[in-house]
Amino acid sequence: MLEDCKIRAFLTVVEEGSFTRAARRLGVTQPAVSAQIASLESAIGQSLFERGTTLSLTPSGELFLQYARRIQDAYDLANATFSK
């Protein structure tokens, strides 16, 4: 199965609105999700989330979300095409 764990973690955090709930859904620890997001932010050189009393996307996070969805759609299509 083709997948990028960082993209999956990012999209799941966005969908769940929480690092903890995303970790639970992904079946990993919250620190593992935080590390994946930190690695992703380091790789692109931008902060993706405003971390405060509520979790929200930064302007860069909003923009990256568009790309992340397209990337995940491409993975899903490739997996559907090549899986047996």
Q: What stretches of the chain adopt beta strand conformation (E)?
A: 49-51, 55-57
State what percent of residues in the chain have pLDDT above 90: 89
Could you report the per-residue pLDDT of 13-55, keeping only the tens digit for each?
999 999 999 999 999 999 999 999 999 999 999 999 999 889 9
* Sign of the CA dihedral with 18 first, then 59, 51, and 72 last: positive
Q: Which one of 1.10.10.10, 3.30.1600.10, 1.10.150.110, 1.20.58.2030 gives the CATH number of domain 5-82?
A: 1.10.10.10
Looking at the whole model, is its pTM more than 0.75?
yes
Query: Mean pLDDT over all residues of the chain?
Result: 95
Give the tens place of pLDDT for each residue, 53-81. 899 999 999 999 999 999 999 999 999 99
Q: 56: closest CA among 18, 24, 12, 30?
A: 18
